[in-house]
Amino acid sequence: MNDNQKSEVQQSEIINPPGPATWIGHFWRNKISKILTCLLNPKITIKWLAADGVSTLTRDADITMSEHGWRATIALNYGDFTAGGGSGSTASVQQYTFVSDRGDFFMATPTTSVAVSTTLSSPFSNSSSVTTLSVTSAIGIAAGQSISGTGVPSGVIVVSVSGATVTTSGFTSTAGSSGSYTFGTNVAIAKPPKLWCSITGDTQIDGSGAHTYTYNSITVGGVIVAYTRTNTWNSGANTQTEDITPAYLVGDLLYAIGMPVVNMPITVGSGTTVAVALLDIHDKDWAI
């Protein structure tokens, strides 16, 4: 080629590729399709724990993109955690006022609920073993509530509700059933496991060896309001008296979450089935 000749460079362009799957590959086509779908309609549906095991929760989602992929974030509203009536199928966060200390759990009164009163459709006799109650109406009855009425000893709570059948924590009746029964005056709230008074000993990792624990109740007006713990170790050579620290105060609000007891009942160390667990937001522990 001499300097007087013009050279031409032939150019070409791709018009109408044979198809996205061929052009960019089937794998990446599916990924891009999913990402565009999320960006255009940012909603996400997740499985939600419920008694039937198949319930779902759908919420608007915020889509975040990065070099590592994409992530969907959904906001859970308070309404997502409200108690599911008597089904015991969803979780609920509520405020409670302290009533008494039962060792492994507190008895407390919900600040936003009212006691429910109803009659029984099937009576029970004196000195009988009772695990369920058949009520004429279960509206407003929920897991964790206390049960009071003729023949029911103190401390009995609702474990779960199905239709008009209330499963209880179990009791031996002190009299034949009669009249109306009240549900919801108090609620049993499980303490954090480290604060259970049924723990009689453990072995710590700090080299101090085996510790044994005994508990002494503090009573005010005939009601147990707290416990102290005697901690003994080094084969009895060391001992100290401990309190829950920081202390619970008069007027304290307890924040607790109601568990879906159909699937996950809480059994505290003493063997009592409790439907509501205390949120340990103050990080309390035994200390001198």
- For the segment 156-169, what is each residue's pLDDT rounded down to a tens digit? 888 788 889 999 88
Which range has the worst mean pLDDT, 72-86, 167-181, 229-243, 247-261?
A: 72-86
With respect to residue 96, please indicate whether it lies within any of the assigned structural domains: no
Q: Are residues 117 and 63 in the same domain?
A: no
The first and second tokens of residue 132, run together, are 């369920």
Q: Are residues 69 and 111 in the same domain?
A: no
With respect to residue 28, please indicate whether it lies within any of the assigned structural domains: yes
Residue 135 DSSP class: B
Residue 195 DSSP class: G
Q: Are residues 133 and 72 in the same domain?
A: no
Please write the tens of the pLDDT for every residue from 52-73.
Answer: 444 455 656 666 655 555 565 6
Q: Are residues 64 and 130 in the same domain?
A: no
With respect to residue 248, please indicate whether it lies within any of the assigned structural domains: no
Query: How much of the chain exceeds pLDDT 70, in percent?
Result: 63
With respect to residue 70, please indicate whether it lies within any of the assigned structural domains: yes
Q: Are residues 61 and 122 in the same domain?
A: no
With respect to residue 121, please indicate whether it lies within any of the assigned structural domains: yes
- Total domains, the chain: 2
Query: How much of the chain exceeds pLDDT 90, in percent?
Result: 27
In the chain, count H helices and then E strands: 2, 20
Provide the pLDDT for residue 176.
Answer: 95
Query: What Å distances lie between residue 149 and 134, 189, 197, 274, CA to CA?
Result: 14, 21, 28, 20
Mean pLDDT, rounded, for 21-50 = 60
Q: Are residues 119 and 168 in the same domain?
A: yes
Please write the tens of the pLDDT for every residue from 170-187.
Answer: 899 999 999 999 987 777
Q: Are residues 136 and 186 in the same domain?
A: yes
Give the Cα separation of 173 and 168 in Å (integer).
12
Give the Cα separation of 204 and 28 in Å (integer).
54
Query: What Å distances lie between residue 206 and 201, 202, 209, 233, CA to CA?
Result: 15, 12, 8, 12
Q: Which of 157, 190, 223 is the last residue of a domain?
A: 190
With respect to residue 173, please indicate whether it lies within any of the assigned structural domains: yes
Q: Which domain holds residue 49?
A: 21-76
Give the Cα separation of 184 and 117 in Å (integer).
9
Please tell me the pTM assigned to this model: 0.54
Q: Which of 146, 166, 190 is the last residue of a domain?
A: 190
Please write the tens of the pLDDT for every residue from 198-237.
Answer: 999 999 888 888 999 999 999 988 888 899 999 999 888 9
Q: Are residues 123 and 71 in the same domain?
A: no
With respect to residue 99, please indicate whether it lies within any of the assigned structural domains: no
Q: What angle is formed at CA 23 by the lines to CA 20 and CA 27, rounded to 5 degrees?
A: 70
Residue 84 has pLDDT above 50, yes or no: no
Cβ contact 182:117 at 8 Å = yes
With respect to residue 82, please indicate whether it lies within any of the assigned structural domains: no
Provide the pLDDT for residue 122.
Answer: 93
Q: Please list the helix, strand and coil fractions of the chain in percent, rounded to the nearest 5, in that order.
A: 10, 45, 45
- As a residue count, the chain comes to 288
Cβ contact 183:146 at 8 Å = yes
Mean pLDDT, rounded, for 72-81 = 48
Which range has the worst mean pLDDT, 174-183, 187-196, 274-283?
A: 274-283
Q: Are residues 67 and 112 in the same domain?
A: no
Mean pLDDT, rounded, for 115-131 = 93
Provide the pLDDT for residue 53.
Answer: 43
Q: Which of 31, 59, 76 is the last residue of a domain?
A: 76
| CB crowding 247-276: b at 16 or more within 10 Å, else e | ebeeeeebebebbbbbeebbebbeebbbbb
Average pLDDT across the chain, whole number: 75
Q: Mapping DSSP to helix (H, G, I), strand (E, B) and coil, where does residue 21 land? A: helix
